[in-house]
Amino acid sequence: MTAVSVRNLWMEYGNQIVLERIDFDVAPHSFVSLVGPSGCGKSTFLRLLLSQEHATRGEILVDGAPLAPNPEPDRGVVFQKYSVFPHLTALDNVMLGLEFERGGLSGRLHGRARRRAREEAMEYLEGVGLGDAASKYPSALSGGMQQRLAIAQALIKKPRILLLDEPFGALDPGIRSEVHDLMLRLWWETKMTVFMVTHDLREAFYLGTRVIAFDRVRKREEELERYGATIAFDTPSDPAPFVKELAAKDVAA
Ligand SMILES: Nc1ncnc2c1ncn2[C@@H]1O[C@H](COP(=O)(O)OP(=O)(O)O)[C@@H](O)[C@H]1O
Ligand SMILES: [Mg+2]
């Protein structure tokens, strides 16, 4: 289980301060929902957690050690759209993660290693309810199925930290609540720490164990460049009833 500490983090692009004085500690196995107005730096913050970009000041610690300077499989990500490759079947999309990790420079696996990776990928597909869709291409899958595929693709690398950038925003309400419960179950089983950006406050409180809002304190036009967003509120959130059921099952087992 993974703790994350953010220490006085600042992110600036040229003269524009996007984030300033971001400072908080996340307990192991948290589900952190990040909310805030469009453009306040939520996606930027996820990119910092992924090491796709680097903060101009401050630091991020994972279990007390500085974050690795480059993206690594210990951190996975799912976006709202386009996380999966259209020219690969569902199964190949999930296997891809393992091929890059284990296939060396060619990114390919052969023989036994390939069969093993196939089996593992099938397990993950089944885990997200896509066992029957293994040979389908993403274009033949509904939006909810594509998102479940993207989740399987991220999880097969067994990330300790999962970053979700508005992952459920494009889903219909019925499908969305199904995928919510899937996400909660996977989060519960893997014990990973999740950061999820969302526009939807109900979703933020339903899924999150904690809800953090970024916002600018000063909003006058002439101040926009000089002040970044910081933490506007930070509040614990009760686990969803579904999580309480999962916890009760664990106790019973
Ligand atoms: N690579 C970049 N170069 C310059 N400015 C950027 C870059 N990435 C993001 N920004 C700016 O940082 C601010 C925050 O963007 P973003 O993190 O995407 O916000 P959010 O995800 O909260 O909507 C925006 O003003 C955006 O224009
Ligand atoms: Mg964004």
The residue to mutate among 9, 10, 16, 18, having the most atoms of ligand 1 within 8 angstroms of its beta carbon, is 18
Q: What is the dihedral of CA 186, 127, 155, 30, to 10 degrees?
A: 0
Residue tagged 């999930």 (tokens): 94
> Could you read off the pLDDT of 127-137 as tens digits, one per residue?
999 999 999 99
Could you tell me if the CB of 39 is within 6 A of ligand 1? yes
Domains of the chain: 1-74+159-235 (3.40.50.300), 85-157 (no CATH)
Identify the pLDDT of residue 100. Answer: 73
What is the spatial distance between Cα 96 and Cα 102, in angstroms, rounded to a whole number? Answer: 10
Q: Closest ligand 1 atom, CA of 44?
A: 17
pLDDT, residue 40, reads: 94
CA distance 133 to 145: 9
Q: What band does 28 get if pLDDT is binned at 50, 70 and 90?
A: very high
Tokens coding 80: 């709202």
Q: What is the mean pLDDT of residues 113-126?
A: 92
In contact, 31 and 207? CB cutoff 8 Å: yes
Instruction: Output DSSP code: residue 86.
Output: T
Q: Return d(Cα 61, Cα 48) in angstroms, integer.
A: 12
**Ligand 1 pocket mutation, candidates 15, 43, 44, 165, criterion most atoms within 8 A of CB:** 44
- C-alpha–C-alpha distance, residues 42 and 101, integer Å: 28
Confidence (pTM)? 0.93
Which pLDDT band holds residue 239 (cuts at 50, 70, 90)? confident
Segment 162-177 mean pLDDT:
91
- Helices 143-155 and 111-127 sit at what angle, rounded to 10 degrees? 130
Instruction: Check pocket membership of 13 for ligand 1, CB cut-off 6 A.
Output: yes
pLDDT-derived band at 197, boundaries 50, 70, 90: very high
Q: Is the pLDDT of residue 171 over 90?
A: no
Q: Band of the pLDDT at 105, cuts 50, 70, 90?
A: low
